[in-house]
């Protein structure tokens, strides 16, 4: 699977949670992330692969099972890795780019639907703000949602264990709440 | 990070760079020096945190002022018998080649491993898509190339052993996709000493003085060492042949990250061409390669960037199989990083399988999101002052590597040239001498200490009058906020303005641009009209290191 977003959205935390959960379940794992310039608010992509045997940390073109977009426009970057069976799971959140007219939710979901039928646009940012009072956990929400909907083939319990391992104590309670919220 | 200190064996998910640190710790490393640079930066960050916690016990670490100094510090430690790790990104190696070559001649006392990280596709580099490999031919230094974090750890440990056995420094070359790859890594038991590290330098002019005629003898000794290491490489399991099950006449030679994509491609098409996976780039196990290619009709070289391996195989084929068709850059580009689909396509062609790269077309264009200076960055005040003080059309802006290279992006658009660290002043001096046009050269504080000072002195010595703005944000921001000689909390007592004045610069002023906009604007105007060089030190901490 691939996660796209912008610098500072916590993509690497998501990568860690999924890989720790996959390790608990005994899968082979390879991931790839980028550091450096991407952290200054530019586009970021990370790749997570788990299964019986994984060789490459990069997803070959057209071979992604799941593309998770923490920012809706950035989700389009996943198209290179998509095929008609790929699931797109997208936070409806749009972070505008200075001096550019942002794309709309509909433009994004309509064009993705031409590639795959499985496009889920989720107002994760709004849900988290309304129910938890903060939107920083939108990534955890999407991830948990995908686990409960069986889009990510990992047990909820393993993901919960991974959360406890990866998230620092002071943010843990909030993240567990987010996880529970996604169950509903 | 605590995971890296776990004394007990186990399995942990580690980043390539973390695995390198673990490998060094398991080997009992005693001295580590580095200058930050992505994709090698985490190595320094990890050792910085480790040694700060342990107050220097069992291990010495430093961020040096630049890579050449880091290399030389490591040389001194090795000559004093300590087990030494030196780490840098590819461009850093350019800065220290001058020290490296005689170091390889002299050889080590304490075993020494040098980590050099390349960045194919320039994910986090400007300047050039540099490939470190040919340094092996230039310096006769062994190079090992791991494919994944497990190998990062194992190769570091083996690197120390080879260095110890042959008394030679070893380079371990990683690339972004190796250094920033994660996987579960098997940790071995680790002993950590709590003693303060003390080495001893024993005088030995035969080893440490590289004057002729002795230096030519040293070269001879080095070449003899390389012959011995070559036979080690021939026997080493790092260079392994994975036999095919079928009667294939096609084989693959590969290394590093490309090996993983090769395995993936073979699994995808369910073909089992024999594979020679090279852990050594230098010295190559030539006999093993010759044996591998002997019965083949074709060999595919799956190699990222320039065809150095391909050329070597072509040379060896002349001796062992002159009909062999060597396929490399014909099928796989030499620009940009290797990708699994490139190998899919090459393997499909050779095995007669069907593969067409899937092409999804989007009706809308993906908006480009360029990185930007953070909101609240002190550099914004520098930019606004410059824009108010001058007409940007009439001034040339010299840029450099650091957060301030983002001055080149819209809406700022204040960057007319950009090359390497320390170059904005030197190039600016040349432009001034050649044209007399108005010019402002920007340089970061860490870059100023890294390689700016000689260029500044040159403007005084050879009399040119650029305006230099030193961006003193009290940290090495771009690479993750590493300390430097005047960073936040530093106790060196160094003041950049004192250095600038000591270099002979008369027009020098330190200004906080965030609180003194007017003074900043007036000084820029005033300094630009001077006949000799002038320097403004724009002093305000990066928001990530500012004391709250
Ligand atoms: C020779 C070399 N070493 C390391 C790097 C990696 N690098 C890029 S920017 C940078 C830091 C620049 O720090 P500074 O000059 O203080 O600017 P800031 O990022 O703080 O604005 C480094 C170390 C490089 N490009 N070249
Ligand atoms: S990291 Fe610091 S110096 Fe770099 S853009 Fe952000 S605030 Fe500015």
pLDDT of the residue at B41: 97
Report CB contact under 8 Å: B124, A37: yes
Which residues of chain A are within 8 Å of residue B90 when distances are taken between CB atoms?
none
The pair phi, psi for residue B63, each rounded to 5°, is: -85, 115
* B409-to-B15, B34, B399, B403, B405 alpha-carbon distances in Å: 31, 30, 12, 11, 8
Angle (CA) B526 B531 B536, round 5°: 45
**Which residues in chain A touch residue B123, judged by CB atoms under 8 angstroms apart?**
34, 36-38
Does the pLDDT value for residue B251 go beyond 90?
yes
Question: What phi and psi, each to the nearest 5 degrees, are found at residue B53?
Answer: -65, -35
pLDDT (tens digit, 9 = 90+) per residue, A62-82? Answer: 999 999 999 999 999 999 999
For residue B358, tell me if it sits in a domain.
no
* Cβ pair A73:B177 closer than 8 A: no
Q: How far apart are the CA of B358 and the nearest CA of chain A, in angstroms?
A: 6
Q: Is residue B371, in this structure, part of any structural domain at all?
A: no
Chain B contact set for A114 (CB, 8 A):
363
Q: Is the pLDDT of residue B160 over 70?
A: yes
Q: Are residues B147 and B169 in the same domain?
A: yes
B341 plus B423 within the same structural domain:
no
Average pLDDT over residues B21-29: 96
Asked whether residue B156 is assigned to any structural domain, the reply reads yes
**What's the confidence (pLDDT) of residue B73?**
98
pLDDT tens digits, residue range B416-425?
A: 999 999 999 9
Domain boundary among B334, B351, B368: B351
Nearest CA to ligand 1 atom 15: B444
- Chain A residues inside the 8 Å CB shell of B339: 58, 60-61
Dist. CA B372–CA B370, nearest whole Å: 6
Orientation of helix A138-148 relative to helix A156-166, angle to 10°: 160
CA distance A68 to A48: 11
pLDDT for residue B530 is more than 90:
yes
Q: Specify the residue with its C-alpha closest to ligand 1, atom 4.
A: B37
* ipTM computed for the complex: 0.96
Distance between CA atoms of A44 and A61, rounded to whole angstroms?
Answer: 17
pLDDT at A100 (0 to 100): 84
Please report the pLDDT score of residue A143 as a whole number: 97
pLDDT at B66: 98
**Inter-chain touch B176–A34, beta carbons under 8 Å:** yes
Percent of chain A with pLDDT strictly greater than 90: 86
Please indicate, yes or no, whether residues B270 and B215 belong to a single structural domain of this protein. no
Tens of pLDDT, residue by residue over B118-129, are: 999 999 999 999
- Judgement on whether residues B203 and B245 belong to the same structural domain of the protein: no
Query: Does B367 or B545 have the greater pLDDT score?
Result: B545
Determine the residue of chain A that is closest to B184 in CA distance.
Answer: A29
| pLDDT for A39 | 61
Rounded distance between C-alpha atoms, residue B522 and residue A11, angstroms: 44
**CA atoms of B19 and B150, how far apart (whole Å):** 7
Report the number of distinct structural domains present in chain B: 3
Q: What is the dihedral of CA A15, A16, A21, A25, to 10 degrees?
A: 90
pLDDT tens digits, B439-477? 999 999 999 999 999 999 999 999 999 999 999 999 999
pLDDT of residue B143 exceeding 60, the answer is yes
**Same domain for B126 and B83?**
yes
Tell whether the model's pLDDT for residue A37 goes beyond 80. no
Predicted structure pTM score: 0.97
Cross-chain residue pair B261–A74, CB shorter than 8 Å: no
Closest residue CA from atom 5 of ligand 1: B37
Structural domain of B298: 240-351
What is the separation of C-alpha B71 from the centre of its chain, rounded to a whole number of angstroms?
13
Tell me, yes or no, whether B365 lies in a domain.
Answer: no
| Residues with C-beta less than 6 Å from any ligand 1 atom | B 35-37, 67, 89, 91-92, 95, 401-404, 421, 444-447, 471, 473, 475-479
* B231 and B244 housed in the same domain: no
Q: How confident is the model at residue B80 (pLDDT cuts 50, 70, 90)?
A: very high
Give the pLDDT score at A36.
66
Domain termination site, one of B235, B261, B292? B235
Q: What is the pLDDT of residue B96?
A: 97
> Domain residues for A58?
2-183
Q: How many domains does chain A have?
A: 1
CB contact under 8 A, A23 and B340: no
Report if residue B4 sits inside a domain.
no
| pLDDT for residue B54 is more than 80 | no
The C-alpha atoms of residue B346 and residue B328 are separated, in whole angstroms, by: 9
Mean pLDDT over each residue of chain B, to the nearest integer: 96
Q: List Cβ<8 Å contacts ≥24 apart for B512-516.
A: B512/B538, B512/B539, B512/B540, B513/B378, B513/B381, B513/B382, B513/B385, B513/B538, B513/B540, B514/B378, B514/B381, B514/B540, B515/B540
Q: What is the pLDDT of residues A159-174, one digit of tens each?
A: 999 999 999 999 999 9
One domain, residues B106 and B227:
yes
Lowest mean pLDDT among A55-59, B138-142, B410-414: B410-414
Sign of CA dihedral B329, B333, B338, B343: negative
Q: Does residue A38 surpass a pLDDT of 60?
A: no
For ligand 2, atom 2, name the residue with the nearest CA.
Answer: B542
Atom of ligand 2 nearest to the CA of B373: 5
In a domain, B495, yes or no: yes
Residues B297 and B413 in one domain: no
Closest-CA residue of A relative to B401 is: A37
Over 80: is that where the pLDDT of B334 sits? yes
Q: Which ligand has the minimum distance to the alpha carbon of residue B545?
A: 2
Residues B218, B75 share a domain: yes
Q: Could B364 and A103 be called an inter-chain contact, meaning their C-beta atoms sit closer than 8 Å?
A: yes
Could you say which ligand is closest to the alpha carbon of residue A40? 2
Residue A34, pLDDT score: 86
Claim to verify: residue B432 and residue B321 sit in the same structural domain = no
pLDDT tens-digit map of B367-379: 888 888 999 999 9
Q: Quick check: is B372 in a domain?
A: no
Q: What is the mean pLDDT of residues A29-34?
A: 95
Among protein residues, the one whose CA lies closest to atom 5 of ligand 2: B373
Contacts B148 to A, Cβ<8 Å: 30, 57
Instruction: Show the ligand 2 pocket: residues with CB < 6 angstroms.
Output: A 40; B 373-374, 377, 379, 403, 473, 477, 542-544
pLDDT of B94 reads 98
Question: Do both B213 and B280 map to the same domain?
Answer: no
Where is the domain boundary, B214, B235, B256? B235
For residue B424, report the distance from its CA to the centre of ligand 1, in Å.
13
Give residue B194's pLDDT band: very low, low, confident or very high (50, 70, 90): confident
Please choose, from the candidates B133, B125, B71, the residue with its C-alpha nearest in 3D space to the C-alpha of residue B96.
B71
Tell me, yes or no, whether B479 and B341 share the same domain: no
Q: Is B51 a member of any domain?
A: yes
pLDDT at B548 over 60: no
A45: CATH? 3.40.920.10
User: How confident is the model over B272-309, as pLDDT tens digits?
Assistant: 999 999 999 999 999 999 999 999 999 999 999 999 99
Q: Do B371 and A73 touch (CB under 8 A)?
A: no
Pairing of strands B250-255, B240-242: unpaired
Higher pLDDT, B55 or B208: B208
Q: How far apart are CA B221 and CA B420, in angstroms?
A: 36
CATH number at residue B477: 3.40.50.970
Distance from A92 to chain B by nearest Cα, in Å?
Answer: 16
Which residues of chain B neighbour A83 with C-beta distances below 8 Å?
358
B373 C-alpha to ligand 2 centroid (Å) = 6
């Amino acid at each position: 699977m691939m996660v796209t977003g912008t610098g500072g959205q916590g993509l690497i935390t998501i990568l860690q949670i999924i890989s720790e959960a996959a390790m608990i379940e005994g899968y082979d794992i390879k991931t790839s992330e980028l550091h450096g310039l991407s952290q200054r608010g530019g586009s970021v992509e990370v790749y997570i692969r788990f299964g019986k045997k994984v060789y490459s940390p990069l997803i070959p073109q057209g071979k992604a099972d799941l593309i998770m977009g923490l920012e809706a426009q950035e989700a389009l970057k996943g198209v290179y890795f998509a095929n008609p069976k790929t699931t797109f799971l997208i936070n409806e959140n749009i972070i505008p780019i200075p001096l550019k007219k942002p794309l709309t939710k509909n433009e994004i979901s309509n064009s993705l639907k031409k590639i795959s039928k499985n496009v889920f646009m989720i107002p994760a940012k709004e849900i988290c703000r309304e129910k938890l009072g903060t939107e920083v956990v939108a990534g955890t929400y999407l991830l948990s949602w995908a686990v409960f909907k069986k889009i990510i083939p990992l047990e909820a319990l393993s993901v919960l264990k991974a959360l406890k391992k990866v998230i620092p104590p002071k943010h843990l309670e909030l993240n567990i709440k987010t996880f529970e919220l996604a169950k509903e | 990070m605590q995971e890296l200190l776990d004394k007990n064996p186990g399995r942990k998910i580690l980043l390539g760079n973390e695995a390198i640190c673990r490998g060094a710790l398991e080997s009992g490393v005693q001295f580590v020096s580095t200058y930050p640079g992505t994709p090698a930066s985490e190595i320094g960050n990890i050792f910085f945190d480790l040694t700060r916690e342990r107050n220097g016990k069992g291990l010495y670490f430093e961020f040096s002022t630049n890579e050449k100094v880091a290399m030389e510090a490591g040389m001194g430690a090795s000559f004093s018998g300590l087990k030494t790790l030196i780490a840098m990104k590819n461009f850093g190696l350019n800065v220290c080649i001058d020290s490296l070559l005689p170091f390889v001649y002299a050889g080590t006392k304490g075993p020494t491993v040098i980590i050099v990280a390349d960045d194919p596709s320039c994910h986090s580099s400007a300047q050039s898509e540099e490939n470190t490999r040919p340094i092996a031919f230039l310096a006769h230094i062994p190079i090992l190339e791991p494919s994944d974090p497990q190998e990062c750890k194992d190769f570091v440990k083996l690197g120390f052993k080879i260095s110890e056995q042959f008394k030679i420094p070893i380079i371990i070359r990683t690339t972004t996709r190796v250094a920033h790859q994660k996987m579960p890594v098997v940790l071995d038991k680790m002993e950590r000493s709590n003693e303060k590290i003390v080495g001893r330098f024993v005088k030995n002019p035969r080893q440490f003085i590289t004057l002729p005629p002795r230096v030519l003898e040293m070269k001879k000794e080095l070449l003899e060492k390389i012959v011995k290491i070559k036979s080690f490489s021939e026997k080493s399991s790092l260079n392994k042949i994975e036999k095919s099950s079928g009667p294939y006449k096609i084989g693959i030679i590969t290394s590093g990250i490309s090996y993983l994509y090769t395995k993936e491609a073979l699994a995808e098409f369910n073909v089992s061409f024999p594979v020679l996976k090279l852990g050594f780039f230098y010295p190559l196990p030539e006999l093993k390669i010759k044996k591998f290619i002997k019965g083949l009709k074709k060999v595919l070289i799956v190699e990222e960037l320039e065809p150095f391996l391909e050329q070597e195989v072509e040379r060896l084929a002349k001796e062992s199989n002159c009909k062999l068709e060597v396929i490399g850059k014909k099928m796989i580009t030499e620009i940009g990083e290797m990708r699994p689909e490139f190998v899919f396509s090459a393997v499909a062609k050779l095995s007669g399988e069907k593969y067409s790269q899937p092409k999804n077309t989007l009706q809308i264009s993906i908006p480009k999101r360029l990185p930007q200076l953070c909101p609240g960055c002190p550099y914004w005040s520098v930019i606004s002052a410059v824009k108010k003080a001058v007409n940007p059309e009439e001034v040339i802006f010299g840029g450099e590597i650091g957060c301030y290279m983002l001055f080149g992006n819209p809406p700022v658009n204040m960057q007319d040239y950009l090359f390497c660290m320390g170059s904005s002043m030197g190039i600016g001096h040349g432009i001034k001498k050649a044209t007399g046009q108005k010019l402002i050269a920007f340089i970061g504080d860490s870059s100023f200490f890294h390689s700016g000072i000689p260029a500044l002195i040159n403007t005084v010595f050879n009399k040119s009058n650029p305006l230099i703005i030193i961006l003193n944000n009290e940290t090495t921001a771009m690479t993750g906020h590493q300390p430097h000689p005047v960073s936040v909390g530093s106790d060196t007592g160094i003041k950049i303005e004192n250095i600038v004045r000591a270099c002979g610069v008369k027009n020098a002023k330190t200004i906080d641009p965030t609180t003194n906009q007017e003074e900043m604007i007036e000084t820029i105007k005033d300094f630009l009209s001077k006949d000799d060089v002038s320097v403004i030190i724009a002093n305000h901490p990066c928001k990530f290191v500012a004391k709250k």
